[in-house]
Amino acid sequence: MNFLARHLVRFLTMLCLCCAYGVAAGGSYEAPLPVQLSTDPNLCAYVPCKDVMPGADSFSNRMGKPAYVEAYGKKKKDHDEKEGHDKRDNQGEKHVEKHDCDGHDDCELIGYVFLSTDIVDIPAYSGKPVVTLIGMDTQGIITGVRVLKHSEPILLVGIPESQLTKFVKQYLGKFVGDKIEVGASRPGESMIGVDAISGATVTVISENQVILRSGIEVARQVGIIKPTIRPQAKFKDVPGTLDWQGLLKEGSVQEIKVNPQELGLEPGKQPYIDIYFGYLNVPTIGRSVLGEHGYAALMSTLKPGEHAIFIIANGTGSFKGSGFVRGGIYDRVMVSQDLDSFTFRDLDYRNLYGIEAAGAPRYKESAIFIIRSPVFSAAYPWNLVYLANKQDRQTDAKTFVNFAREYWLPARYLEGGRPEIIKPEATWVKVWKTRKIEVVLFLLWLTAAGAVYALRDKLVRRSTHKDTRWKDIPKYVLWVTSIGFVGFYLLAVPSITQVLTWFHAILFEWRWELFLSDPFVFLFWIFIIITVFFWGRGMFCGWMCPYGSLAELTYHVAGKLGLKRYQRHLLPQNWHDRMKWIKYGIFGILLAVSFYSMGMAEKLAEIEPFKTTFLVGVWNRSWPFVTFWTVLIVASAFFERPFCKYLCPLGAALAIPSTFRWWGLKRKQECGPCKACQVGCGSQAIDDSGRIDQRECLLCLDCQVLYYDDHACPPLVQERKARTKAGQPLTAIGSDGYFIPIIPVSAHATAIAAVRPSLPAFIGQEFFDHLFPWSRKVFQQPILLQAITFALTVLVTWVWVLGAAGQIGPGIVLGWWLGWSVYELVVRMRCKPYVKDGPWWGRNLRPASWADMASYVGFKNLLIAVVLFLLMKSFGILDFLQDLPALQWLY
């Protein structure tokens, strides 16, 4: 048997690697791009510009701001040079004329090619932009679109990349200035619709914005689209001046702060750059910043329609740029207003000699820049954009990233106040609105599922060991609706990749819009998190998981079709006890790999068959995926939920916090020697002592049916027979699983309840139990051992604080967290070898196994770290810690 188990594991591992290789072998997912792509003037030396500009013979270097390249084709031939007429020399021999557009002598401008990341930085569902190459002719008509690289896991393991190629081809022949949206066309509003990709709504909405905004930026720059002239602001001369804090408070001065780690650099004591900026034409702001004479001097040099902004900055970086030359442009900062961009040349620069506002910070560099464009209006919001190079630590590739901050003058400085602005809705808001009916139906489904399980006691009381309809019918309804409505229709399939994304978001950057972009997965995860803490993983895994439901129905249908005699309800216990740890190992490997390469972890996560089943369809996959899926579904016909029990990394991730569940299943004292429930447990989650392992239990509730069944539960059977034989009446069965006594027990006969401790004492006990792994015996240890123990505690805490403040890398923090968790696991098993059983607020303790303690320690430490991080961030403590010295020796 051990031989077969080892070979089964090897076979499944080989299939997973084949699947990962199949995914990695093709497509543009995480495709490696040349390091020079974002910096080299010759863009077309690194990307296939001719693919998006058919008919082009040559391309210029990058030009403009934002950058684009000009595409040139051969001029139209004269009458004697038309195709079909060969030129011949004086000897009558055929002469092939060489056309060379490199010098543009016999060529004409036919269009423009541009890289999306040179222009916009719009994240897709993965939080990263879709790198897209776009071609546009001289009339603004899109001639070609090609996706060079994306990081969308849904297009890696869910939807064929051919669907994305099909989507972007819809833009060919369309004018970049047209109103184009994902969805149905609305001719009455001049809105052109493009077909979406089912299951990738966020991705296609983002790509729609990327294509159109990039095209409009270039079209406006080259004169295809005329700029929008906005009404100019009329200012009120509000008397008085403000100090620096007053300017910041009312929004007349804004800040952009960029930390080194945001650019892939080592953390430092100071930010990479910390910029303050503001608009100087307003009399009150100008006088506050420059003083009365400085403001008057500046305004005397400005012509009508010109605007002045000031910038001061500190940090290791520079907003002026190291490559600035006379006659050039300042390539690190620009102003954007709606889709219009304004850059600064040397003639737009003025010296800023000082800040007169009291309390102004010291600064390393400063400038006053002049905006000379009738398009710009200070009455409307605008953004200061700082551009920087971000280095990928894994590949050393550099890309441009933008950091922007909106600036809008306070209404009190504008005559008539601020104009009314209708801002475009966020992508996630559009998704929620377009699917509001499905969202309501999904919420009703979640509510119904929670209500059914909350009423489980009533359902199992009505059921018997021979008639489980009251329990089974609601479960079958949930299984069928989970497969059809949730899985195949809504495509709301939770995945381990989302868990990995959360870990990274907590450590690096939390963005709510990333999680809100898929309403069904977002709502599902809220439900899962709540129910895991209430009842453990079994509510989701056993009742609501689309793939788990499919596997369970496959098992039952196969039995009804005549395969029941071949089905093995349970594996041998020794096999099960070994194989159940495989899923935890898979989860640990995926989590570890994700910190090395999220893309690789997403590929390995293909061990989940969820996407093949629901998002893509088996018929759309290559042979490794089909083989793996077939093996699992065939195994599910003969064994009950083999994937859920032994391979599912999502189940393992949910099993760990199940240690903290509030309400477990009911047990009796006789459940140890009695094996009735253990024999029938499909999850094999009941051990020889009668205890239920909540991490493995899928909440089938069969044991709870026996709990109340006086014809199946041995203790109840004995008591029923004894009462019947004695001629005593059968009373109702109480919540403790026994017949209610015929003669009520007197108050004197009841055991005296333990005295509850006071609230301060309870809090103190909880604090000591959870935060300190040692018992009070630690104080009886030698002084040197005590000193080492508490020094380690202080050091680990200090490392975590520095990591939270961005002073040291996340890898070091994770290493220390793991090391401390292992240390605490060993110490607790020696000093406090128990965990809580039941609600957190209770004190029902039971002996802990190593698995119990590992789950408790790991998840408890993660919760403490997250809570502390959020509290420190909310109260500004992290900003204060930025100035603390880092432990450089840790690097």
**pLDDT at position 751, please?**
45
Beta bridge partners of 370: 308
Q: Return phi, psi of residue 312, to 5°.
A: -125, 150
Window from 59-63, 157-161, 214-218, 769-773 with minimum mean pLDDT: 157-161
**pLDDT at position 17, please?**
45
Kindly report each contact of residues 789-795 with a partner whose C-beta sits within 8 Å and lies 24 or more positions away, as own/partner.
Answer: 792/820, 792/823
* β-strand pairing of 191-194 with 179-182: parallel
The closest of 609, 610, 626, 606 to 618, measured between CA atoms, is: 626
Q: Return phi, psi of residue 675, to 5°.
A: -110, 15
pLDDT in tens, 842-890: 777 878 888 888 888 888 887 777 777 777 766 766 666 655 555 444 4
Question: Measured between alpha carbons, how far is 549 from 492 in angstroms, rounded to an integer?
Answer: 14
- 559: tokens are 């039995």
- Mean predicted confidence (pLDDT) in 429-434: 85
Residue 188 has pLDDT above 60, yes or no: yes
Residue 39 has pLDDT above 70, yes or no: yes
pLDDT in tens, 516-575: 878 999 999 999 999 998 898 999 999 999 999 999 999 999 988 988 888 876 778 888
Provide the angle, in degrees to the nearest 10, between the axes of the packed helices 427-434 and 519-535: 80
Rg of the chain's alpha carbons, rounded to an integer? Answer: 34
**pLDDT at position 14, please?**
46
The C-alpha angle with vertex 123 and arms to 119 and 125, in degrees rounded to 5, equals 150
pLDDT in tens, 350-362: 999 899 999 999 9
- Mean predicted confidence (pLDDT) in 209-219: 89
**pLDDT at position 691, please?**
85
**pLDDT at position 33, please?**
82
The closest of 817, 816, 799, 820 to 884, measured between CA atoms, is: 799
**pLDDT at position 515, please?**
78
What are the b/e assignments for 90-110, b being 16+ CB within 10 Å?
A: eeeeeeeeeeebeeeeebeeb
What are the b/e assignments for 406-434, b being 16+ CB within 10 Å?
A: ebbbeeebbeeebeeeeeeeebbebbbeb
**pLDDT at position 694, please?**
84
Q: Quickly list DSSP for 528-548.
A: HHHHHHHH-THHHHHHT-HHH
Mean of all residue pLDDT scores within the chain: 81
User: Number of C-alpha atoms within 13 angstroms, CB side, residue 886?
Assistant: 19
Q: Confidence band (pLDDT; 50, 70, 90) for 228?
A: confident
pLDDT in tens, 694-738: 888 999 999 999 999 999 999 899 999 999 988 888 888 988 888
**pLDDT at position 634, please?**
93
The closest of 551, 518, 768, 777 to 647, measured between CA atoms, is: 551
Residue 4 has pLDDT above 50, yes or no: no
In the chain, % of residues over pLDDT 90:
35
Place of tokens 């990081």: 151
**pLDDT at position 835, please?**
83
pLDDT in tens, 730-746: 888 988 888 888 776 55
3-state SS assignment for residue 371? strand
Say what the pTM is.
0.73
- E-strand stretches of 66-201: 69-74, 87-88, 94-95, 107-115, 131-137, 142-149, 179-182, 191-194
Residue 300 has pLDDT above 90, yes or no: yes
**pLDDT at position 94, please?**
36
Kindly report each contact of residues 735-738 with a partner whose C-beta sits within 8 Å and lies 24 or more positions away, as own/partner.
Answer: 735/457, 735/666, 736/666, 736/668, 737/666, 737/668, 737/707, 737/708, 737/713, 738/668
Window from 98-102, 424-428, 733-737, 834-838 with minimum mean pLDDT: 98-102
Residue 506 has pLDDT above 80, yes or no: no
In this structure, how many other beta carbons lie within 10 angstroms of the beta carbon of residue 751?
Answer: 5
More confident residue, 486 or 93: 486
**pLDDT at position 23, please?**
42
3-state SS assignment for residue 768? helix
**pLDDT at position 101, please?**
60
In this structure, how many other beta carbons lie within 10 angstroms of the beta carbon of residue 449?
Answer: 22
